[in-house]
């Protein structure tokens, strides 16, 4: 009788369990099955253990991150590392993202993602894209995958599928170009053949490799993304290194331009105004380029615009002059934290004197990024400046070093306001100290600028480095076009006949062979207006500068009605 009662209890419990399970939404089981399918793809027992729930919970409790903290290009890897290395300073910085005094990292993030309408729509688009790929409609499938990735940008499976589609598109274009070149090889010269080879759109492969990296950030155990990134990464590294070599050659060509070149002098002055205009416009300043130039040249306020916006122009002008006249004079001296504080003091000198040149004292939140706690800022800034002046940073390409310093400062977010403008000043200071022209981040690229910063914050800084590379090369091209009428890299074909340039291999031998070396202050500031040149005051408030001390000291500004 007791045995029958025991069996009845078991059947009753099983019936209750089946009933409760049947009440769960079907999407839950589809999600579980998808996770199990990914789990069975893991190749080794070690990977199976690392993906288990108990291992993840244990790692979260002891505080070790389960996500890959940083993904670096080959030029940034420590010696001997070839894949997904630990880069001490940056990985430590990433770990501070969820740090809060008195709270454990265990509670900072939830273990699972809640399904939303966007993620469900993304899943539908993904499945439809798979069907379109099976039918051979690769273009339609690519559009659907891009749509799915926009709806659910943290889905490792969708990101990997989109990367594979972009990689296939790159392979198809490459194969078509190769076939075309082979069919016309008898009619093509070597020069034209190399031009065809360089016409292969490398952007798709670079984007594919970046998507694999993002997928691994979201799911480090996803084997398909790991395999794809290991396959594409060496090719992308070659693209990145070749791009930097081309820029080095352009810098060498730029140094062949004498300072007396009128086109170069004019473009330097124009770029000075553009630097101030675009750096302020990125932060929301509504003054146009012409209005910015008028404020700088006349020191007279522009009608219809707030004084705060015009004061932002004056502050950035004072910061640029301090950078030119003081920080670039002793180019061999290390950059110190106090130098950044002085730059920031000038950036906000006409806007907020109480916070100018001072670190923030409380926690701030910037969109979906939470900067480190305020009490950590002095230590982090000391570490940042130590890294900027270290041999490790000096071994990087100047553009990479400047881009990383820019991102690190924005990540720390040490000030209440003016972080972006100060970071761009630091970036250009690093570039100009080694002989590179300063880079302009244009207002039109604001969205891409913030997107690449966001990608860097989650673990992959290479898209941001490539973005800064684009900006630096664009500025360099402007200088070359002004001096030569062309930005072609072929120095021997386009440069002055009396100059012979040795084959460049890195920045150091380039600078040692320079014959016409311009001064380090590429930003040529306009001359200061005198009192006799000042126009008559307008009916509204006017701003007039009476003096500018040595070393870019803050000018005295008179407000008159």
Does the annotation list 423 as a binding residue? yes
Does the annotation list 420 as a binding residue? yes
Cβ atoms of residues 463 and 212 within 8 Å: no
What are the distances in angstroms from CA 286 to CA 203, 216, 281, 306, 498? 33, 40, 6, 9, 47
Cβ atoms of residues 289 and 273 within 8 Å: yes
Number of alpha carbons in the 13 Å side-chain half-sphere of residue 117: 0
pTM exceeds 0.75, yes or no: no
* Spatial separation of the C-alpha atoms in residues 306 and 151, rounded to whole Å: 39
pLDDT in 10s for each residue of the chain, 561 residues: 555 677 777 778 888 888 877 777 776 766 676 666 555 544 445 555 666 677 666 666 655 443 333 333 333 334 333 333 333 444 444 444 443 333 333 333 333 455 678 888 988 999 999 998 888 888 899 999 999 999 998 899 999 999 999 988 887 777 776 666 555 554 444 444 444 344 446 888 899 999 999 999 888 889 999 999 999 999 999 999 999 999 999 999 988 888 788 888 889 999 999 999 999 999 999 999 999 999 999 888 888 889 999 999 999 999 999 998 888 876 678 899 999 999 999 999 999 888 999 999 999 888 888 899 999 999 999 999 999 999 999 899 999 999 999 999 999 999 999 999 999 999 999 999 988 989 999 999 999 999 999 999 988 999 999 999 999 999 999 999 988 877 665 544 444 333 333 333 333 333 333 332 333 445 555 555 433 333 333 333 334 333 334 344 444 333 333
DSSP state of 517: -
Q: Give 401-433 as a 3 state SS string.
A: HHHHHHHHHHHHCCCCCCHHHHHHHHHHHHHHH
Does the annotation list 424 as a binding residue? yes
Residue 394 tokens, joined: 């000096």
Cβ atoms of residues 249 and 491 within 8 Å: yes
CATH superfamily of the domain spanning 255-360+374-543: Fido-like domain (1.10.3290.10)
Does the annotation list 459 as a binding residue? no
Residues classed as catalytic: 413
The torsion defined by the Cα of 192, 467, 273 and 255, in degrees rounded to 10, comes to: -50
DSSP state of 68: -
Residue 4 has a pLDDT of 60
The domain ranges of the chain are 11-99, 255-360+374-543
For the chain, the distance separating the N- and C-terminal CA atoms, rounded to the nearest angstrom, is 103
φ/ψ bin of 523: left (φ > 0), alpha (ψ from -120 to 50), beta (otherwise): beta
Does the annotation list 366 as a binding residue? yes
Residue 257 has a pLDDT of 86
Residue 476 has a pLDDT of 93
Q: What angle do CA 226, 232, 233 make, to 5 degrees?
A: 85
**Residue whose tokens read 């296939």:** 168
DSSP state of 543: E
Residue 433 tokens, joined: 């100290």
């Amino acid at each position: 009788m007791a045995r029958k009662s025991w069996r009845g209890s078991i059947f009753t419990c099983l019936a209750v369990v089946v009933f409760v399970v049947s009440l769960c939404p079907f999407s839950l089981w589809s999600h579980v099955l998808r996770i199990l399918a990914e789990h069975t793809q893991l190749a080794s027992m070690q990977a199976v253990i690392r993906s288990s729930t108990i291992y993840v919970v244990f790692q979260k409790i002891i505080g070790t991150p389960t996500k890959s903290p940083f993904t670096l290009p080959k030029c940034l890897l420590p010696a001997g590392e070839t894949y997904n290395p630990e880069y001490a300073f940056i990985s430590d910085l990433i770990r501070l993202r969820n740090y809060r005094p008195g709270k454990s990292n265990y509670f900072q993030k939830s273990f699972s993602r809640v399904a939303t309408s966007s993620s469900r729509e993304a899943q539908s688009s993904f499945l439809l894209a798979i069907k379109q790929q099976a039918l051979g409609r690769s273009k339609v499938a690519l559009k659907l995958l891009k749509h799915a990735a926009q709806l659910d940008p943290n889905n490792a499976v969708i990101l990997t599928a989109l990367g594979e589609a972009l990689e296939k598109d790159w392979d198809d274009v490459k194969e078509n170009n190769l076939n075309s070149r082979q069919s016309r090889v008898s009619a093509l010269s070597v020069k034209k053949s190399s031009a065809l080879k360089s016409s292969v759109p490398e952007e798709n492969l670079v984007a594919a490799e970046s998507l694999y990296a993002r997928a691994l950030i979201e799911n480090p155990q996803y084997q398909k993304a790991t395999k794809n990134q290991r396959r594409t990464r060496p090719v992308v590294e070659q693209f990145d290194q070749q791009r930097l070599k081309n820029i080095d050659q352009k810098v060498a060509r730029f140094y062949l331009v004498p300072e007396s070149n009128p086109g170069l002098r004019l473009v330097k002055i124009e770029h000075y105004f553009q630097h101030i205009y675009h750096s302020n416009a990125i932060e929301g300043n509504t003054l146009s380029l012409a209005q910015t130039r008028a404020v700088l040249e006349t020191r007279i306020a522009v009608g219809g615009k707030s004084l705060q916006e015009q004061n932002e122009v004056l502050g950035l002008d004072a910061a640029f002059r301090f950078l030119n006249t003081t920080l670039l004079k002793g180019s061999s001296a290390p950059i110190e934290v106090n130098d950044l504080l002085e730059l920031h003091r000038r950036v906000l000198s006409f806007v907020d004197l109480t916070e100018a040149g001072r670190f923030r004292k409380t926690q701030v939140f910037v969109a979906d990024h939470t900067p480190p706690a305020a009490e950590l800022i002095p230590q982090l800034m000391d570490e940042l400046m130590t890294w900027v002046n270290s041999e490790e940073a000096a071994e990087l390409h100047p553009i990479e070093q400047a881009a990383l310093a820019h991102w690190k400062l924005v990540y720390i977010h040490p000030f209440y306001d003016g972080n972006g403008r100060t970071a761009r000043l630091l970036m250009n200071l690093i570039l100009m100290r080694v002989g590179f022209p300063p880079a302009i981040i244009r207002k039109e690229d604001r969205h891409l600028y913030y997107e690449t910063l966001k990608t860097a914050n989650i673990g992959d800084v290479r898209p941001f480095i490539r973005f800064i590379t684009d900006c630096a090369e664009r500025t360099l091209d402007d200088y070359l076009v002004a001096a030569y009428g062309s930005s072609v890299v072929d120095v021997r074909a386009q440069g002055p006949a009396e100059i012979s340039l040795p084959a460049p291999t890195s920045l150091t031998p380039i600078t040692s062979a320079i014959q016409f070396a311009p001064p380090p202050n590429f930003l040529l500031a306009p001359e200061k207006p005198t009192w006799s040149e000042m126009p008559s005051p307008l009916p509204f408030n006017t701003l007039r500068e009476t003096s500018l001390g040595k070393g870019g000291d803050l000018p005295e500004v008179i407000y008159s009605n």
